[in-house]
Amino acid sequence: MKIDTQLSGDVIMSGEQSMTELVNLAGRIYDLDERVYKATGSALGRVFYRNREKTIDELLENMCDTSRAHIIRNEFALIGNMARTIPNRDVYREAMTEYNEIVHQLRALTGTLGKREIINATEARLNSFGNAKAIVGAHKIICISRSYGAGGDDIGFGLADKLKINYYDAEIFKTVSKRLEAESDEEMSDANFELSQNIKNPGLSYATEHMTLKARMARFNRYHGLSARDALFFTQSELLCDLAQKEDFVVMGRCADVIMSNNHIPHVSIYITAPFKLRAQRMAEINDVDMKQAVKQLKQVDRRHASYYNFYTGRKWGNASNYDICINSARYGIKGSIEFIANVLNGTGNSDEK
């Protein structure tokens, strides 16, 4: 393997870095620091005070120890910061070119920048925000969780409206579930059974489309023995997965993010919150109660959401590490939050309005 150890240029990178390459790189860092120091003329503008050999030794030590690699990164960032202040444009350009080259070399050295991955590949693959490829062809599914009073419902509804896609929340699901039950009762009579077989029904009555009466009865008996809450949860989970196969939508709460993840369906998950005091003030206004009452309600509703989420997901509700992003609605307002989310979806090529 040929290794170009000249300071001038393109070091050939192999899978494993040879010491020669590292020494070369350390030397370039030292030299750049010296050059920048001379060009800025600043008595303070020098990162490395010691002589070239000693500095290179120190740099090498840090390069080879991932737990200390951030030191190089910081020292090097300081050189970059200084370089950007060089008044002479030619010297500036030259220094920045060398700076950028070294950054890329450093990056090519595994671990040299202290960079180890933090990715959860399974979940990252399903994150439509972060993975434009995952969502080509897939439906646009936006799962929103929110703390009470943060305006999450208004934001979710407004977003669905802006994107011209469907909107689902607990009340809508309840209505849908009631209808499914009512429909199920109806269909106990043959006439209605015949009817449901013949009409084209592309709406929310997902259950009627492809299922025989027998299959549907089986479906309704399936959760026998479960609590009503559990049965509802599982019905909703199934409904969500069905919907995700055929349409774009915004869904509020319902642990939809976790249901999508568990079923390997690409989506984005957003948590919307705002400072407690602001939320309480807002709910006091909306519900026309005093602050004391509002605070009590806030805590109750948040606790209920938390308990529901924790029960069905085993995760901690409202913890930023459960979602793709969290948004503080107080920093944007309701309209601003809607626009912000729509922009973010657009930014990743994920929101061509239909």
Tokens of 131: 């993975």
Nearest to 237 by CA among 216, 218, 262, 214: 262
CA atoms of 211 and 209, how far apart (whole Å):
6
- Minimum CB separation of residue 196 from a copy of itself in Å reads 7
Residue 112, token pair as written in the block: 């040299």
Task: Count residues binding a copy of itself (CB under 8 A).
Answer: 106
Q: At its nearest, how many Å lie between a copy of itself and the CB of residue 75? A: 8
Member of 34, 60, 64, 80 binding a copy of itself (CB under 8 A): 80
154 binds a copy of itself, rule: CB under 8 A: yes
**Binding marks (x or -) toward a copy of itself, 255..274, rule CB under 8 A?**
----------------x-xx
Q: Which stretch binds a copy of itself (CB under 8 A): 13-21, 191-199, 224-232, 305-313?
A: 191-199
Identified binder of a copy of itself from the candidate list 151, 159, 163, 309, rule CB under 8 A: 151
Least Cβ distance, residue 65 to a copy of itself (angstroms): 9
How far is 21 from 27, CA to CA, in rounded Å?
Answer: 10
Shortest distance, position 30 Cβ to a copy of itself, whole Å: 16
Residue 153 found at the interface with a copy of itself (CB under 8 A): yes
CA distance 220 to 62: 64
Least CB distance to a copy of itself at residue 253 (A): 13
Report in angstroms how near the CB of residue 128 gets to a copy of itself at its nearest: 10
Residues 30-49 that bind a copy of itself (CB under 8 A): 40-45, 47
Q: Which two tokens stand for residue 154?
A: 């208004």
Query: Residue 200, Cβ neighbours under 10 Å: how many?
Result: 6
Closest CA to 168 of 224, 85, 244, 223: 244
By CB under 8 A, what part of segment 293-322 binds a copy of itself?
318, 320-322
Which residues between 319 and 348 bind a copy of itself (CB under 8 A)?
320-334, 336-337, 340, 343-344, 346-348
Q: Does 113 bind a copy of itself (CB under 8 A)?
A: yes
CA distances from 194 to 162, 204, 235, 347 (A): 39, 19, 25, 49
> Segment contacting a copy of itself (CB under 8 A): 23-31, 63-71, 227-235, 305-313?
63-71
φ, ψ at 225 (rounded to 5°):
100, -15
Interface with a copy of itself, residue 138, by CB under 8 A: no
Long-range contacts of 302-309 (CB under 8 A, 24+ apart): 302/147, 302/148, 305/145, 305/147, 305/148, 305/253, 308/255, 309/145, 309/255
